[in-house]
Copies of this chain bind each other. A is one copy, B any other.
Amino acid sequence: MKTSRIALSSMMLGFGTVASAASPSISRLMPRPAEVVAGSGALSLENGLRAASAGPADARLERALARFAARFARQTGISRPATEGASPASLTVRVAKASPGLPSIDMDESYELTVAPDGAALTAPETWGALRGLETLLDLVEPGPGGLSLPAVTVKDRPRFRWRGLMIDSGRHFMPVEVLKRNLDGMAAVKLDVLHWHLTEDQGFRVESRRFPKLHQKGSDGLFYTQEQVKEIIAYAADRGIRVVPEFDMPGHTTSWFVGHPELATESRAYTIERKWGVMQPAMDPTREEVYRLLDGFIGEMAALFPDPVLHIGGDEVEGHAWDQSPAVAVFKKAKGLATNADLQAYFNKRLAQIVTRHGKTLMGWDEILHEDLPKGAIIHSWRGPESLAKAARLGFRGVLSNGFYIDLIQPASEHYSVEPLEKDAANLSPEEGARILGGEATMWSEFVNAETIDSRVWPRTAAIAERLWSPRDVRDVADMYARLERASRRLEWLALEHRTGYRRMLERLAGPAASDADVEALRALADLVEPVKRYERGGTREYTSLTPLNRLVDAARPESDDARELSVLTERLLADPARRNGREAIRSRLEAWQAGSSRALPVIARSPLLEDAAPLPAEVAALAGAGLEALAFLEQGEPAPPTWFTQRASVLDKPHKPIHGLEVAFRPAVKRLMEAARGQ
């Protein structure tokens, strides 16, 4: 096989050009493998593909191959030879050592994949690597001369970090088993390996406890996972090389526990399931032995149910209001010499660590648990930032980064993609300390997502985070990432994920029965230009509780507007051109289309009461597009725009204060750039 080596350094800039002539799929793999060498020719798939294991008996691999066959057939539309008696293409999978046990933090996920015109071979030291390689192979399918084919290629691949997680918050909004399963499929497709399952919150206690059934019976509105379902999820994840790390958040975020067991709470009263969002005051009482007795029983039960060695105890956002108001706590603190509430929480954590350790588990918790008394085996989960991660590593703790990976904050993929776990404070760690940084986790907090919308908040942006954690450190070209993210997003739809199909369906619901297809398209064109407000702004836009239906335009809108991003790219290119010509017409045609098109959504909005909040949006879009077009005209003339013009138009650049629809026009920053350039030239 004639091969042409593509060095990794050249992949950053020239790769797309070089390889796309030969194979568009090789240049679009996501996550980018550690090493790729393109070959020549292709393996035709027109007669299907038969994958078979040539290694030792491996039941997990056999199940994976059965799933692979079904997914291959679905993704290609090819399930058997197109010609009677023809042989399908062959994929030989050879695993040196079968991995019958559960996926672990020490699993070997490396693999080598070779595709040649006469067949494909996948080898891996352990089953886990074979699972990863099968995903790469599905990512390589592309139209070839004789129909669908695989390009000749050699891939040598291994992950950069061993902890590549997605946290799903089943506490605030319950996520049914099928939602978890399809997201596990998505995780496997982008080579993530940890499902961090946030199971208890003020708003819901989501796991069946047979020892303390009042916990889930009274704390969940009936929306909880049975232990059988938990086992089902763990097995499903394990078959995809994904660990399941449960979180039971304590001593705060625990209102739902107290509905059935008020004796755990510092303040003795009757509790109901919390419906509001925010940091709540109730907290467990760290002073009473009966609390530790129940926790010992409960954690013992959960330690047996969840086989992974790591157990996450949360520990975040305990403000201590309840403690401050309790005379008994004050007496206790004094007696134990605990000066602050942080010291009190450290005491609680120390007791909890003893319980967790006794049940054979490693304790993990959010930054707040970091304290010198914490046993050194513990894992610090950083939501606050890289400083605490670096600090933890220096103190001898292992750490996982989630700061920067908060996908609930509706930030663009590029922002998450730019986060590097070994940068900033972590850049100065010794090699030994640096090795304690295990990886990172995207966190899908669920105040504003439910079973219907979670897919569109997780995907495709989490694929960019997955690449950050899997691929070599120097894979970080943002434009290239976006080109590949679009492709990854499409590929994920061959799984049951609804991040793309759900968009149109939700818009149809909002538009109502009177809407024609053109009406829905007009609404979609508007929705394509807006984004939900970012970070923690949405909670301030209207009254939200855990009972509020999430079926409005803000829920349908995508976290990131492709249209707006493209306009920003075009704008930067234009402004980088001294002649102000590069891409000008592309900007103009977009702005003109948005200006003209925005009013088309007005009749749809007028006819549907569900959309009434969104009524100001078309005018806002038109005003912004108009201002952008004026700025463009000034740039074309090459004369600075009159200051009066800028002053008159500047108001369009102000974001509406707390829009009740929770949306913002996504191309405002690009228009601002154009206007400022027009003024300043």
Binding site for B on A (CB under 8 A): 20, 24-25, 28, 46, 74-78, 80-84, 142-148, 221, 275, 450, 452, 483, 486-487, 490, 493-494, 500-501, 504-506, 508-510, 512-514, 516-517, 545, 547-551, 555, 562, 607-611
Contacts and interface: CB of A to CB of B under 8 A. Distances in A.
Given A80-B547, A551-B76, A143 B46 contact: no
A274 to B, nearest CB: 11
Nearest 9 A/B pairs, CB to CB: A77-B551, A24-B514, A143-B610, A143-B608, A24-B513, A25-B513, A143-B512, A501-B501, A78-B549
A302 to B, nearest CB: 27
Given A24-B514, A46-B549, A143 B611 contact: yes
A463 B506 CA distance: 22
19 contacts: A24-B514, A25-B512, A46-B549, A77-B452, A77-B555, A78-B551, A80-B221, A80-B547, A82-B547, A84-B545, A84-B547, A143-B609, A143-B610, A143-B611, A147-B609, A483-B516, A490-B508, A494-B505, A500-B504
A509 B76 contact: yes
Nearest to A501: B501
Nearest to A86: B547
A174 to B, nearest CB: 10
A145 B512 CA distance: 12
A80 B77 CA distance: 40
Nearest to A494: B505
Contacts of A506: 77
Contacts of A28: 513-514
A504 B494 CA distance: 11
Nearest to A275: B84
Nearest to A16: B514
Contacts of A516: 483, 486
Contacts of A494: 505
Nearest to A77: B551
A44 to B, nearest CB: 11
A450 B142 CA distance: 21
A613 B608 CA distance: 44
A82 B24 contact: no
Nearest to A548: B82
